[in-house]
Structure 1
């Protein structure tokens, strides 16, 4: 009986997970193609950046009118996994895709994983409701949607599967959704690649044996990563809260944010901090003359863009910030430059998203096994040092990071004392910029 039940479960998730992965992979391929076209156009016609305030006004007006049901972004997807809320509106997928592409076209500093996760979640939920599956199966399909979106947009299927489990509850993996998440992430990645998408290739660091002295350097490295992660999280949350309080109407807030980004762009005199910033991210692995302030400028550009309400995610900007920070720290601590950039790239997002395991695996998928054990050490220490905060306020906490008994219930990070309040549930519609 047990074998029959296991075989039935395997067959079900191969089918449902594969279906979710296929739609996620196709959506990610379309998104990455449009994003590449938008980035190329902006780089060839940089004058378009001057119109970012107008773009913010238009995108904000569209979301103020039609975006109320999807204003939670990634937090809406996480809340739905836990609470079984009504179906995630299918409109989330096309609206967040369009909004993110326009954000990058006009020069906003944002990422792409938030868009992929939201598309994956809304498409998976649409399939779950169409197929009339049980609540438990629906939760598995939502986890598959998160994993399929994340894994396919970065070309990291194993990290995508683990991320789909790890991001939902801080410090606990939901193994009951492991199979659908893995199937969806692997299938999504295969579909995206089969449609001609080529992912960024990063330099592969050499092997550095772990010793006591090297370990001491990584601990110092981790403290710096945690500090920058806290600055990013607190800065983005507080800026968004401040703008919401002072400027209630979203289109005006986004126009103001666009104006601020244009001002920063002219101040620094370079386009390196606009959009994804992948060229400078890759440069961090090899260039010992990278400006020491590069990570701080990218942090500021991104906090202003997302804090004002523009759409996109945090992963690629945090990769940029982490790699640039790792470049500086490697020079200061006498670590290999490429290894410092690789560890910083993964560990900063791990600390901000409370996903040290997924990002350690992701680092291996992106740059090879030589990054171990260094990235796991830094990511874990930085994750602990950031406390009970994160870029996704809807994440649930089952147990305090420093240990102790299980909490009486899963507590959203937004409800913890001293944490930034949840700004995803105001009375006026917001763009889903989280993630």
Structure 2
């Protein structure tokens, strides 16, 4: 290939990047997906190796692992469960010291890494200090590896979001583009670590709202998630997390039991969130205020380690126990104990300030809640409920959809996990019911209702506010100089000389407004006296435009943009040709600026 041809190709590429929005987001999505994928690969390996060293070799435990995640194998060491609280306490102390010393702003950042990402999107302008995901990611590895009840998904979401934010800052992108790339990075991390590229992308763009999703981030988020997932599976294979049979919904009567599952998941979700908030704010925040963050996280680590020492099912993410529940290998009372214990253990770990995510524990609690309903239904109605394990999977999606207000992403994730859509109908029903029944509570503290409630979309909200303001309160009532169509240019110059107005409504002999005359229209003919008696006002007037008092300012703004007039006459409600005043373009702009200023002040 000749140098000239290469230069032309690069020139076309740069031109496409600058001028074609979709092409630019495609490239940026690929780039952030590559970096997020590499980070996800390293993070996953570090967590699994740490669990093997601390829990298997040091503590001597042989915990079940899902078929698609058991990276390290070995004979467990001598049983030393007393080392678990020692390790978790040490990690708690280290975490508290690092956070308090280097990233103290994250103490009140929300529920977990996902919630911190939501906060950064809405209130931080998409800006995340690189030190935040580095410290949070490192301490999350230690927390999960030593047995802390936390998940990988929250930290990797925050790490991916940090990558997107860092890249946007390096490329000097706008605040809007930073936010979009923030979500693309989060989607990349989530899609890779969960091995669900579409579900990860959709979860990232919908979890930031309770009743909306960030549509502008779909393209880069999907691309980033696919690229990150592809890199991840290059190292760890394409097998899903769980090695389970294919589940199929075949009897409509089962919908009754899936409705019961939705009720159970809603109740478990309410308990899960209330317990977390109580332990976090009523226990550990008070301890933090008295003795400092480091001692609060240290105490959290000690309590978590002690619980895990006697009840190993509570340690780490617990996907191995979930797989056993799906396969029907856990009794009902064990699952009940796990739901209660996991709720308390997760609240203690994350609520104390230790690092980790609430995503995986939420799936764990939801799955066990669904497993309880599935086993009970299968026991008493075996001819209807032939696959109780499917209730575990539906419980996972429905529970998280209810507590996180994310109906689509978790649903797609479960379909990707099962590699089929056999459970789609019960998934949709249970998820919808959980969202409706659980509308009064949310896992993530920084979620907002919709785009109009987010400072990130303050300009969109301003348009909505302009629709609530009316011409009546912003126009200047009074006499307006009106011209007749037959007025000559000579007479017109005398009229203009005796007024300060720049725009004049024009009426015909019947009193109907037929146009608007502007000073710009007249200026081109002022120095040609031969035409003074030949040119009439109707020859110079342009298209008519009027407003009524009850018109909103957004309608007024559109008319000013459409006509490029600086003033538009305001007419009577009863007579469209009776001029009662005039509104200036500056009046609308001032109202717009005032609305933006008030919204920003309210958001601060």
Give the match for residue 241 of structure 2: 200
Describe the superposition over 1:71-103 as per-residue Cα deviations: whole angstroms up to 9, x where unpaired.
Answer: 424333223322453720001222111101110
Question: Structure 2 vs 1, CA of residues 139 and 85 (structure 1 numbering), >3 Å: closer, same or farther?
Answer: closer
Equivalent in the alignment of 1:49? 84
For the pair 1:256 / 2:299, whether they are aligned, the reply is: yes
CA distance in 1, matches of 2:126, 2:319: 37
Aligned equivalent of 2:324: 283
SS in 1 for 2:433: helix
Q: Distance in 2 between matches of 1:75 and 1:323?
A: 22
Q: TM-score, normalised by structure 1?
A: 0.86
Question: Aligned-pair distance for 1:388?
Answer: 3.4
Q: 1:53 deviation in Å?
A: 1.6
Is contact 2:185–2:224 with CA below 8 Å preserved after alignment? Answer: yes
| 288 and 192 in structure 1: CA distance in 2 versus 1, 3 angstrom threshold | closer
Which residue pairs with 2:101 in the alignment? Answer: 65
Equivalent residue for 2:136? Answer: 96
- Tell me the residue number matched to 1:311: 355
1:233 is aligned to: 273
The 1:65/1:210 distance shift into structure 2, 3 A limit, reads same
1:396 paired to 2:439: no
Is it true that 1:380 corresponds to 2:432 in the alignment?
Answer: yes
CA distance in 2, matches of 1:319, 1:285: 13
Question: What SS is found at the alignment partner of 2:254?
Answer: helix
How much does 1:7 deviate?
8.3
Name 1:421's counterpart in structure 2.
Answer: none
CA distance in 2, matches of 1:67, 1:99: 12
Shift of the alpha carbon at 1:120? Answer: 0.8
Give 2:370's aligned residue. Answer: 326
| 1:274 match | 315
What corresponds to 2:412 in structure 1?
361
Structure having the higher Rg: 2
Shift of 1:159: 0.6
Q: For residues 136 and 289 of structure 1, do their structure 2 counterparts lie closer, same or farther at Cα, with a shift above 3 Å needed?
A: closer
Q: How many angstroms apart in 2 are the aligned matches of 1:202 and 1:369? A: 16
For each residue in 1:311-369, what CA deviation from the matched residue of structure 2 results, as whole angstroms up to 9, or x when unmatched?
Answer: 11112222222222222111112332211111112221221211111111111000121
The residue number in structure 2 matching 1:16 is: 28
Distance 1:132 1:210, change over 3 A: farther
TM-score of the two chains, using structure 2 as the length reference: 0.63
- Indicate conservation of the 8 Å contact 2:394/2:423, yes or no: yes
The aligned residue for residue 34 of structure 1 is 46
CA, structure 1 residues 410+59, in 2 after alignment: closer, same or farther (shift >3 Å)? closer
Describe the SS at the equivalent of 1:396. Answer: coil
Partner of 2:402: 351
Shift of 1:55: 2.2
Q: What SS class does the counterpart of residue 173 from structure 1 fall into?
A: coil
CA–CA separation in structure 2 for the residues paired with 1:300 and 1:197: 34
What RMSD over aligned residues (CA atoms) do the two structures have, in Å? 2.2
Preserved CA contact (<8 Å) 1:204 1:338: no
Match of 1:371 among 423, 428, 433: 423
**Structure 1 stretch 119-128 or stretch 135-144: which is displaced more?**
135-144
- Cα 1:62–1:379 change in 2 (3 A) is same
More helix by share: 1
Q: Is contact 2:126–2:182 with CA below 8 Å preserved after alignment? A: no
Q: Residue 210 of structure 1: CA displacement?
A: 4.6
- Secondary structure of 2:314's partner? coil
Helix, strand or coil for the counterpart of 2:312?
Answer: coil
Rounded to whole Å, the distance in 1 between the matches of 2:251 and 2:17 is 45
Structure 2 CA distance for aligned equivalents of residues 217 and 343 of structure 1: 11
Distance in 2 of aligned mates of 1:81 and 1:178: 15
Consecutive unaligned residues of structure 1, counting only runs of 5 or more, are: 400-407, 413-435
**Inter-partner Cα distance in structure 2 for 1:156 and 1:196:** 14
Distance 1:343 1:91 in 2: 37
Residue 195 of structure 1, CA deviation:
3.2
User: 2: distance between equivalents of 1:150 and 1:376?
Assistant: 22
Q: Which moved more, 1:7-16 or 1:366-375?
A: 7-16
Q: 1:5 to 1:307 in 2, by over 3 A?
A: closer
The 2-side partners of 1:270 and 1:393 are apart by 30
**Cα distance in structure 2, aligned partners of 1:6 and 1:85:** 22
Q: Which residue of 1 is the match for residue 478 of structure 2? A: none
Out of 113, 120, 125, the residue aligned to residue 165 of structure 2 is 125
Give the superposition deviation at 1:308: 1.2
Aligned residues: 398
SS in 2 for 1:369: coil
Q: 2:388 aligns with which of 321, 337, 349?
A: 337
Q: Which residue of 1 aligns with 2:587?
A: none
TM superposition shift of 1:209: 2.0
Q: Deviations over 1:114-168 (max 9, x none)?
A: 1111101111111001001122222221120121111111111001111121111
Q: What is the aligned counterpart of 1:109 among 146, 149, 165? A: 149
